[in-house]
Chain A
Amino acid sequence: MPDVMRTVVLASLALCGGAMAGVMALRPDPAVRLEAELSRLEPEDALRELRGAEGRIAFHDNLELLYGRLSLADGDLDRARRSFRRLQAQASPSEEVLETLAGIEAAAGDLAAAAAFLRQAQDAFPSADRRLRLGGWYQALRQPEAERDLLLSEDPTVLTPGEIDRLGLLLIRDGRIADYEALFTTLADSTAEGHLSFKRRLLEFLVESGRPAEAVAAAARWTAGPQGAAALEASVRALIGRGAIDAAILVARDGFRLAPGDSHVALPVFARSGHGGVARLLQGEWLASRPTLSDAEWATLTHLAESTGDMRGLQVALASGGGQAGAPALGQALMQFVRYRGAGALVPWRGLLSEDVFKEVPLVGAAWANWRGDRPATYRHLVAASNQPLSDWDQLIWMSLLDGLRGSPFHRVLLAGAVDHPGLRQRLRDSVIPARPARAALSASPDKPG
């Protein structure tokens, strides 16, 4: 029995011991218990508890993070810094920890330390937003080398236009011209946002470096690629802007060959920049290679004629393919003859004149009808023209055509207000009011008092 009793007692003790050990084993870690308690407290109270527990219990990562966050919220930057540094040392790099350390140092006024943490964060977890911020911090710190290296470490095509501009300036500052050229070559060859401005900058650089042939080759490469027309126009403009006219001519000629349908865009660039002679020369070459013209090409030719007064291009085009042109393009082209040479200049092109053309550009119809003495048609076309926008020049032409109707009922009807165009109405009013001041008519008999 005693043995049995002893066995029972021993078994009971063993059970109790096991239970106690279980209880002890299952008892939460003080740090875990503290964490649970803190979650029920206001931040101020939680921070007070943490401060009280500091040094008494070992903080695990979660508790340290909470302590760091609360200290930071409280404005205790030194304590927050210690917590986050401890976390940084204990664990693998964390984006939040590095960002927060950067934020702590920035709030404390130590931007250099802040930038060091932000750079670590950027290296480990690259992001465009962080890169931009870091670049701005380097700039504020006057650390151009660090800023330059940060930007150079990135694929240039993902940089923002502002970053690219800044990187270019920093490379010039450091005399790293080869890197500058490489940067803009990459960007100019891309279709990244703003690629036309990068093309311009590369061409300017090549011209300045005395390498116009390379500029021409680059422009030809872009002209043959996507958005070739825009690239061609930008290239010609850039080269003319840097005085490289010969290179610009070569680029334009390359354009005629490589992008025949779009190359007309180069012509107005020459004309607008004061190189009318070159424009005419190139226009002739271009026309020779274009048996038929698109509406856009007609528009370019018309624009050139209008801006230079040189009708030769239009004459060639009308003679060779005028009949295939659409009525709007044809009307605008013929209008240039009316503007510069009068209605009589339409005679050689009478075969191209049609009601469709007159409908598109009624002033051409009015001029032609007036030339032929067809007053009803002149009137009809003048009324139609008055319903369209008319430049000052065209209004003067309109008024001159009106002279052909003088003495006719059409003239009286127009004077009576058949026209709504405000500019023409004013001119019509002025045409019947004596131009000289009324007082001038009385000059022979001066005013007398009484």
Chain B
Amino acid sequence: MTRNHFQPLRILRVLSALLALAPALDPSAASARACDTVPRTTLALYDARREGEVRNTRIYRFAELVLNYLGQVVVYHDISRDTPPQTDPGQVGLVLSWFDEPVAETAGFGDWLARDAAFCNGGPKIVAFDNLEFWTALRPGLSSRAMGGMGIATDGVIHAVGVSATVAAKDDSLLDHESDFLIRPGDYRGVAALPDARPLLRMDAQGTLIALAVIGPAGGYVHASAAIDPGTQGRTAWIIDPFGFFEAVLDDDGVPRPDPTTFQGLRTFFVTVSAVGWLDVMPAQAFGEAQRLASEVLAERLVERFADLPITVAILAGDLSPGLGGAAAERGRQAALRALAAPNVETAVQGFSDIRDWSFFAAYDPNREAAMLVAPEAADDQGALVSSAMQTLRDAFADTGASTFSRTPGAPRKYAAAPFDLGQEVGGAIDGVNALSGGERPVGLYAWSGNARPFEAALEAAERTGVASMGGGGGVMDAARPSVTGLWPLSAQVGGQRQINDALGGDAVYTDYWTGALYGFHGFRETLRRTEEPRRLRPFHLSFAARTMLHFETRRAVETFLQLARSSAVVPIRASAHVAAVRGFLSARIASEGPGLWRVRDRGALQTLRLDHARTRALDMAASQGVMGARRKGDSLYVALDPGAEAPLVALADGDHPSGIVLGSDAPALLDSRPVVESWNRGTCSVALELSGFAEGDVVLAAPPQAEYGVAITGVNGDRHRAVAADAAGVLTIRVPAAPGGLRGLSVKGGC
């Protein structure tokens, strides 16, 4: 029997659902509403037929990191499908192409670009690196608009450039950035800079001027020879200054940029330990001495000795199964229990079977895997001299139980006793490790193993678990590899999913996967320095494998960097907090609410906005809402957002005070804090905070010079405020004890 009552509430619900869907059905309607937000999307065009997937593209490899730094979220569109991009035009601030060959299909994209009314601010900026034919092949009106935006015109002629060509003009402020521009003989398309454009580089080839880099009124163009130096060893370097170039094109310096590297004014610090080598055995020094597992050394010598720092430790679920991990599995399990019991440890999972090649499992064929495993790859030494590198490799793949690597080093995963099961690899592994601690230490992070190039379904599976996932990317920027091209973007678009990358590379890349000089990991300090100055490009992410504990060199390097973290101006956080901050970077929307007024929405766990070129700008605390304070670094101003504020309002004023803050009252504001600020309540004369952390640290406040306050810290002096005074520069530093899992209240009352 069916009932057919009139249900006004239900109808209203349906109507409201339809209204909510309307923007999706009509993106132009959505964009009309979205125009009040800053367009933070860069639409990156790529040709999947030539480049395969997004992670292979030059935009991803070179440009995305720079655009991320400038606050842009890069969304990729495969032009070979010739369908319109599924991106809301109102959110697109920049369209970027980096083709090396002509692309025939332009109609779908052309239809999208022709929707003038759907765009904001007169349409997106357009930048072309390398091949221009995609843009010249657009329908005439669109093509001329795009080329005009880039500030260029082509003569349709291919000019021969030889050794007699000369540099006619070069803007030294934006060229010869990491590598010098060198004239490369070859065939060049005739490109000229338009009168309203800013030519950056021009070459004179037998009387013909050819523009190689131009900033136009609404975009820019960079010829391949002025973009990236390929390097003789594949160590690429930027020829044009990508920060300066994209900054000039985007022309949005006044807009604050979401920055996931920084919490509360300080660079974040986190540690990830991968499960690689968990069961590896540390050779005994003397006969009869007990051999120890790398994981046992990790738990004892690192996790417990550095209890004042957060460490995210990944477990490979298969390692702990006696049927797979073999005789060492039980000891590995005990080591895991010991490590996870430490309050400073965040539990992570690195899957079940140690996937080395994720692409193999994207279209999994168990028979193919079985065939690979049947054919042995491991060559017999036959008495040959074994180099130390080979010895090290062999140690790395030591036979631990059912490991496939002892027989087939190129196997796509370590444990192949059962056919690959994505559910077991992700959700199952998380459940298994949760069960290990009886639910006491729930998994906070899923770490991508092996080549860390998960396919879309794997990312979806991780997303469904509700556990943050991270892996891949990273990068190096040290003395021998000083280019920013050695770093990877914050995230990778994989189909409809986002993979959050590691922030920096770890021990493996500094030791050539333990086949090179192991002391090389000490060079990580250089990467830390170069990713902090002149720009804070990356958090302080220390990552290493469990097997690094086996080697004196790498173990000491890790200890040295943990010591460095103790003494550095950083905010120690768990790795999952960094993932959440990057997610917040991706989702954040910034809207202008008047001159110098910026409202931030949908920021999730993102805690910082950064304003560049802001030596004469300051945070106006009185006019702001949901902000804690600010801190200057170089000519940038890092604005710390109140973690509890849903939609903070950042108000900026003129001012060059060293603190970067216009207080507006006697109540202090935050300059920086090593403990994590969990809540923030600033009144007219006072401020109250709740703090968490792993060890004591300083909370540094900005106040009127010499101002006197009463400070109370829960668990130290309770409600009895002790008198403190800001120094002559208006800085008030309060040391606050902290321990994992606890909250500490801090009250600072003013004299008014």
A interface residue numbers (CB < 8 A to B): 40-44, 70, 72-75, 77, 100, 103, 106-111, 114, 132-133, 135-137, 139-140, 142, 144, 160, 162-163, 166, 168-170, 172-173, 177, 180, 201, 204-205, 208-209, 241-243
Instruction: Say whether chain B's binding surface is mostly helix, strand, loop, or mixed.
Output: loop
Is the pair B285, A103 in contact by a Cβ cutoff of 8 Å? no
**Assembly CA distance A166 to B229 (angstroms):** 10
Q: From known contacts A144-B180, A162-B230, infer whether A137 and B519 are also in contact, taking CB-CB under 8 Å.
A: no
A-B contacts, CB under 8 A, total: 116
Q: Which 6 A-B pairs have the closest CB atoms?
A: A208-B162, A43-B552, A73-B553, A169-B182, A107-B523, A162-B232
Is the pair A109, B560 in contact by a Cβ cutoff of 8 Å? no
**Assembly CA distance A106 to B480 (angstroms):** 6
Contact of B231 among A100, A108, A136, A180 (CB under 8 A): A136
Is the pair A204, B520 in contact by a Cβ cutoff of 8 Å? no
Is the pair A75, B522 in contact by a Cβ cutoff of 8 Å? yes
Binds A, one of B183-191, B423-431, B659-667: B183-191
Is the pair B232, A139 in contact by a Cβ cutoff of 8 Å? yes
Instruction: Give me 6 other A-B pairs in contact (C-beta within 8 A), A107-B520, A160-B232, A162-B232 excluded.
Output: A44-B552, A132-B232, A136-B235, A136-B480, A173-B182, A177-B163
Q: From known contacts A139-B231, A169-B184, A172-B183, infer whether A180 and B163 are also in contact, taking CB-CB under 8 Å.
A: yes
B interface residue numbers (CB < 8 A to A): 160, 162-164, 179-180, 182-185, 187, 229-233, 235, 237, 285-286, 478-483, 517-520, 522-523, 525-526, 529, 552-553, 556-557, 560
Contact of B479 among A110, A166, A170, A209 (CB under 8 A): A110
User: Hey, which chain A residues are within 8 Å of B231, CB to CB?
Assistant: 136, 139, 162
User: Hey, which chain B residues are within 8 Å of A209, CB to CB?
Assistant: 164
Q: From known contacts A73-B553, A172-B182, infer whether A107 and B164 are also in contact, taking CB-CB under 8 Å.
A: no
Residue of B nearest to A201 (CB): B185
- Minimum Cβ distance to chain A for residue B457 (Å): 34
User: Hey, which chain B residues are within 8 Å of A170, CB to CB?
Assistant: 182
Contact of B517 among A103, A139, A172 (CB under 8 A): A103
Is the pair A166, B519 in contact by a Cβ cutoff of 8 Å? no
- Minimum Cβ distance to chain A for residue B291 (Å): 14
**Assembly CA distance A107 to B526 (angstroms):** 7
Is the pair B479, A109 in contact by a Cβ cutoff of 8 Å? yes
User: Hey, which chain A residues are within 8 Å of B557, CB to CB?
Assistant: 75
Contact of B160 among A43, A107, A163, A242 (CB under 8 A): A242
Is the pair B160, A204 in contact by a Cβ cutoff of 8 Å? yes
**Assembly CA distance A41 to B284 (angstroms):** 11
Is the pair B556, A73 in contact by a Cβ cutoff of 8 Å? yes
- Minimum Cβ distance to chain B for residue A215 (Å): 13
Is the pair B518, A169 in contact by a Cβ cutoff of 8 Å? no
**Assembly CA distance A143 to B349 (angstroms):** 46
- Minimum Cβ distance to chain A for residue B477 (Å): 11
Is the pair B479, A204 in contact by a Cβ cutoff of 8 Å? no
- Minimum Cβ distance to chain B for residue A23 (Å): 29
Contact of A73 among B232, B481, B525, B552 (CB under 8 A): B552
User: Hey, which chain B residues are within 8 Å of A204, CB to CB?
Assistant: 160, 162, 185
**Assembly CA distance A132 to B182 (angstroms):** 19
**Assembly CA distance A91 to B369 (angstroms):** 54
Is the pair A243, B160 in contact by a Cβ cutoff of 8 Å? yes
User: Hey, which chain B residues are within 8 Å of A111, CB to CB?
Assistant: 479-480, 482
Is the pair B233, A132 in contact by a Cβ cutoff of 8 Å? yes
User: Hey, which chain A residues are within 8 Å of B160, CB to CB?
Assistant: 204, 208, 241-243
User: Hey, which chain B residues are within 8 Å of A144, CB to CB?
Assistant: 180
Instruction: Say whether chain A's binding surface is mostly helix, strand, loop, or mixed.
Output: helix
User: Hey, which chain A residues are within 8 Å of B519, CB to CB?
Assistant: 72-73, 75, 103, 107
- Minimum Cβ distance to chain B for residue A211 (Å): 12
**Assembly CA distance A242 to B163 (angstroms):** 13
Is the pair B285, A205 in contact by a Cβ cutoff of 8 Å? no
**Assembly CA distance A103 to B521 (angstroms):** 11
Residue of A nearest to B553 (CB): A73
Residue among A44, A74, A163, A166 with most chain B CB within 10 A: A74
**Assembly CA distance A160 to B231 (angstroms):** 12
Contact of A133 among B230, B233, B482, B520 (CB under 8 A): B233
User: Hey, which chain A residues are within 8 Å of B235, CB to CB?
Assistant: 136, 139-140
User: Hey, which chain B residues are within 8 Å of A180, CB to CB?
Assistant: 163
Residue contacts A-B, CB under 8 angstroms, 27 given: A42-B285, A73-B556, A74-B556, A75-B522, A100-B517, A106-B479, A107-B523, A107-B525, A114-B479, A114-B480, A135-B232, A135-B233, A136-B231, A136-B480, A137-B480, A139-B229, A139-B232, A140-B480, A169-B183, A172-B183, A177-B163, A180-B163, A204-B185, A209-B164, A241-B160, A241-B187, A243-B160
User: Hey, which chain B residues are within 8 Å of A137, CB to CB?
Assistant: 480
Q: From known contacts A162-B232, A166-B232, A170-B182, infer whether A208 and B164 are also in contact, taking CB-CB under 8 Å.
A: yes
User: Hey, which chain A residues are within 8 Å of B184, CB to CB?
Assistant: 169
- Minimum Cβ distance to chain B for residue A296 (Å): 30
User: Hey, which chain A residues are within 8 Å of B520, CB to CB?
Assistant: 103, 107
User: Hey, which chain A residues are within 8 Å of B560, CB to CB?
Assistant: 75
Is the pair B522, A139 in contact by a Cβ cutoff of 8 Å? no
Is the pair A205, B522 in contact by a Cβ cutoff of 8 Å? no
User: Hey, which chain B residues are within 8 Å of A160, CB to CB?
Assistant: 232
**Assembly CA distance A107 to B552 (angstroms):** 17
**Assembly CA distance A166 to B179 (angstroms):** 12
Contact of A75 among B180, B483, B556 (CB under 8 A): B556
User: Hey, which chain B residues are within 8 Å of A169, CB to CB?
Assistant: 182-184
Residue of A nearest to B183 (CB): A172
Is the pair B232, A205 in contact by a Cβ cutoff of 8 Å? no
User: Hey, which chain A residues are within 8 Å of B180, CB to CB?
Assistant: 142, 144, 173
Residue of B nearest to A177 (CB): B163
User: Hey, which chain B residues are within 8 Å of A100, CB to CB?
Assistant: 517
**Assembly CA distance A107 to B286 (angstroms):** 32
Residue of B nearest to A164 (CB): B232
Residue among A103, A177, A241, A243 with most chain B CB within 10 A: A103
Residue of B nearest to A46 (CB): B552
Residue among A108, A136, A163, A241 with most chain B CB within 10 A: A136
User: Hey, which chain A residues are within 8 Å of B478, CB to CB?
Assistant: 106, 109
Contact of B481 among A43, A44, A107, A140 (CB under 8 A): A140
- Minimum Cβ distance to chain A for residue B566 (Å): 15
Is the pair A172, B163 in contact by a Cβ cutoff of 8 Å? yes
User: Hey, which chain B residues are within 8 Å of A108, CB to CB?
Assistant: 479
User: Hey, which chain B residues are within 8 Å of A70, CB to CB?
Assistant: 552
**Assembly CA distance A164 to B183 (angstroms):** 15
Is the pair A173, B552 in contact by a Cβ cutoff of 8 Å? no
**Assembly CA distance A169 to B163 (angstroms):** 9
**Assembly CA distance A224 to B510 (angstroms):** 51
- Minimum Cβ distance to chain A for residue B510 (Å): 9
Q: From known contacts A44-B552, A73-B556, A103-B519, infer whether A140 and B482 are also in contact, taking CB-CB under 8 Å.
A: yes
Residue among B232, B237, B482, B523 with most chain A CB within 10 A: B232
**Assembly CA distance A107 to B481 (angstroms):** 11
- Minimum Cβ distance to chain A for residue B682 (Å): 41
- Minimum Cβ distance to chain A for residue B461 (Å): 40
**Assembly CA distance A109 to B527 (angstroms):** 9
**Assembly CA distance A343 to B404 (angstroms):** 65
Is the pair A77, B522 in contact by a Cβ cutoff of 8 Å? yes
Contact of B232 among A42, A103, A163, A208 (CB under 8 A): A163
- Minimum Cβ distance to chain B for residue A115 (Å): 9
Is the pair B285, A41 in contact by a Cβ cutoff of 8 Å? yes
User: Hey, which chain B residues are within 8 Å of A168, CB to CB?
Assistant: 185
**Assembly CA distance A160 to B529 (angstroms):** 33
Residue of B nearest to A71 (CB): B519
- Minimum Cβ distance to chain B for residue A158 (Å): 14
User: Hey, which chain A residues are within 8 Å of B482, CB to CB?
Assistant: 111, 140
Is the pair A40, B286 in contact by a Cβ cutoff of 8 Å? yes
**Assembly CA distance A94 to B41 (angstroms):** 55
User: Hey, which chain A residues are within 8 Å of B481, CB to CB?
Assistant: 140
- Minimum Cβ distance to chain A for residue B168 (Å): 15
Is the pair B553, A40 in contact by a Cβ cutoff of 8 Å? no
Residue of A nearest to B184 (CB): A169
User: Hey, which chain A residues are within 8 Å of B518, CB to CB?
Assistant: 73
User: Hey, which chain A residues are within 8 Å of B182, CB to CB?
Assistant: 169-170, 172-173
